[in-house]
Amino acid sequence: MQNRISAVLVAVTLSWAATGLAFAQDKTIKIGVLTDNSGLYSDLGGVGSTLAAQMAVEDSGLAGKGWKIEVISADHQNKPDIATNIARQWIDVDKVDIFMDVLNSGVALAVNNVVREKNSIMINTGAATSDLTNAQCSPNTIHWVYDTYMLANSTGQALVKAGGDTWFFLTADYAFGAALERDTTAVVVKAGGKVIGGVKHPLNTADFSSFLLQAQASKAKIIGMANAGGDTTNTIKQASEFGIVAGGQKLAGLLLFITDVHSLGLKVAQGLNFTETFYWDMNDGTRAFSKRFSERMKNKAEPSMVQAGVYSGLVHYFKALEAMGGNPHDGAKVVAKMKEMPTDDPLFGKGTIRADGRKIHPAYLFEVKKPEESKGPWDYYKLVGTTPGDQAFRPLSESVCPLVKK
């Protein structure tokens, strides 16, 4: 009887070991790029994010090591309900392992819940809300590129120190805009400034005239644009038509991308200050990647920091899976491994991933060049200052993320 029980236990143990070995040796990966392919954020994410994912797969060399990797993409149309439906379909039916990009903070917060429920993975490079690594942090999500706390901390603080001590906000009326206005207000007030007014506008607004007139009438020194993409470029173009900057007020691009500057042109965008964590012309590594990227883009665009983040995030994800010996298809376990390992790639350099899921790297304060300062296509930025990674993002001492041990 004892021998029979022992035999059963040995058989069960061997079965478990075999199952574990099968998981460890599984070398299949399915990547889902959930982005805006047709709306106001399509230039900074969209097909460029899918291309960046494909380039990361190619550069990984994993195909030559027996791995099978597939990249698929979908347009969430900037609607959380559509995004969550796609997310559930991808996980339950299509067996997607990891979500990349996930532009739009409202979309990202909704997908964040699905990813955690299903034990999948999200490396968010597109959404800005700092809540992803604070109040709504998850063991399944990494926030890779930038967030509202960092943008406010860098751009907002610099402008107040330069004399911009009164602010009026033009804010996109959804989760991203609210978070960016909230975080920037905190920085402005802490630095000794004052917010004297603000107005919210619908996402994807064409006519900003009534909002700009209110901002102009406020006499605030700084008009903070807590919006992004097409909303930001429309704000800046129409502000130029109203003569707002010529009248002495300054526009603060709290979230600006190189694709926005390209759309505006240097004549309109010159002098704007803003913060990014990636610029194609920073160093030899960024230039080499960007040259390959732009050659494959139909419009020959240089990569945005969102698209660069997709590449960088996947590079680290692949390193983690190789270190694990295969894909366990266990989101929390893979993310935990990614947090253990230091990050290092040619686009963002060396960094770390904190317990709250925040990827740490430097933030750069840029100013848009004057037309006569530009030496060629896409030569748009000059570096004003650098904030080290350990100072750029919300300190863990201020975090309410339950993953952070106090």
> What pLDDT is stored for residue 167 in this prediction?
98
Distance CA 77, CA 83 (A): 8
Taking the domain 28-146+284-360, which CATH number applies? 3.40.50.2300
Q: For the chain, what are the domain ranges?
A: 28-146+284-360, 149-281+363-392
Check pLDDT > 90 for residue 357.
yes
Residue 379, classed as helix, strand or coil, is coil
Provide the edge-to-edge strand list for the sheet that holds 273-276. Answer: 273-276, 363-368, 381-387
Least confident of 5-9, 330-334, 365-369, 398-402: 5-9
Check pLDDT > 50 for residue 246.
yes
> What pLDDT is stored for residue 25 in this prediction?
76
What contacts 405, CB < 8 A, 6 or more positions away?
355
> What pLDDT is stored for residue 24 in this prediction?
53
Check pLDDT > 80 for residue 119.
yes
Check pLDDT > 50 for residue 13.
no
Mean pLDDT throughout 99-127?
98
Check pLDDT > 70 for residue 10.
no
Nearest alpha-carbon partner for 320 in 334, 304, 301, 303: 334
| Residue 281 · residue 20 · CB < 8 Å | no
> What pLDDT is stored for residue 406 in this prediction?
63
Helices (H) and strands (E) in the chain, counts: 15, 15
Mean pLDDT throughout 164-185?
96
As a whole-number percent, the residues of the chain with pLDDT over 90 amount to 92
Check pLDDT > 90 for residue 18.
no
> What pLDDT is stored for residue 15 in this prediction?
45
3-state helix, strand, coil in the chain (%, to 5): 45, 20, 35
DSSP-derived secondary structure for 227-240? --THHHHHHHHHHH
One fold for 28-146+284-360 and 149-281+363-392: yes
Mean pLDDT throughout 364-378?
96
Nearest alpha-carbon partner for 201 in 175, 174, 221, 223: 174
9 band by pLDDT with thresholds 50, 70 and 90: very low
392 band by pLDDT with thresholds 50, 70 and 90: very high
11 band by pLDDT with thresholds 50, 70 and 90: very low
**Torsion over CA: 195, 395, 137, 27 (sign):** positive
Q: What is the pLDDT of residues 294-331, one digit of tens each?
A: 999 999 999 999 999 999 999 999 999 999 999 999 99
For residues 148-186, b (16+ Cβ closer than 10 Å) or e, as one string? bbbbbbbbbbbbbeeebbbbbbbbbebbbbbbbbbbbbe
> What pLDDT is stored for residue 405 in this prediction?
86
> What pLDDT is stored for residue 3 in this prediction?
52
> What pLDDT is stored for residue 21 in this prediction?
46
Q: What is the mean pLDDT of the chain?
A: 93
Candidates 3.60.20.10, 3.40.50.2300, 1.10.1490.10, 2.60.40.10; CATH matching 149-281+363-392: 3.40.50.2300
Nearest alpha-carbon partner for 72 in 90, 48, 84: 90
> What pLDDT is stored for residue 17 in this prediction?
45
